[in-house]
Amino acid sequence: MTLWKSVFGAIALAVIPVMGLATDPDPNAPVVLSVEIPAGSDNGAVTDFTMADLRVLPAVSFATHTIWTEGVQDFTGVSLAALNRHLDITEGTLELQAVNDYVVEFAVSGAVDGGPIIAYERNGAPMSRREKGPLWIVFPYDSDPAYQTEEVFSKSVWQLVRIIVRPEK
């Protein structure tokens, strides 16, 4: 299984960027996520991501239960760790903001490989805003009891629209 997963992952890694590059980016495509690194730090900037931008990044898939859904759900998305690497974010906390103004902080150190992802597909289909989409921070809850705490649940932000990187206090 692991072998197949990794093989699949390798194929996905190899194929997706090609697809991304092949399709011309639509200049009118809506921004789904803004990542804001405050000015003053070396890489201070605001990075906007369209869905296509996100899909260019390495995709991760896993299946898990959640307390907000019924049955096993397949999630696919960009891992927070990969996003952090992409944007050269190594420390501090991530302030995750939802469309309903829900805000919660998440330590950069918690964004590990095999950990939380920014899911953009659930059960093989993109998620509408009515279905907690289009982006949802999901943890592989079933893989580790440590991901089954209220704290983790509170950080499972759905309808994610913005991430602000805060330096460590």
* Cβ 73 vs Cβ 63: under 8 Å: yes
Which of 41, 43, 100, 109: binder of another protein (CB under 8 A)? 100
Distance of CA 4 to the CA centre of its chain: 23
Of the pair 41, 100, the CB lying nearest another protein is at: 100
Of the pair 9, 115, the CB lying nearest another protein is at: 115
Report in angstroms how near the CB of residue 21 gets to another protein at its nearest. 32
Q: Classify strands 160-166 and 31-37 as parallel, antiparallel or unpaired.
A: parallel
Report in angstroms how near the CB of residue 71 gets to another protein at its nearest. 9
**32 φψ region: left (φ > 0), alpha (ψ -120 to 50), beta (else):** alpha
Of the pair 48, 151, the CB lying nearest another protein is at: 151
Of the pair 153, 166, the CB lying nearest another protein is at: 153
Which of 27, 150, 168, 169: binder of another protein (CB under 8 A)? 150
Count of residues interacting with another protein (CB under 8 A): 21
Residues that bind another protein (CB under 8 A): 65-70, 99-100, 102, 128-132, 149-151, 153-154, 158-159
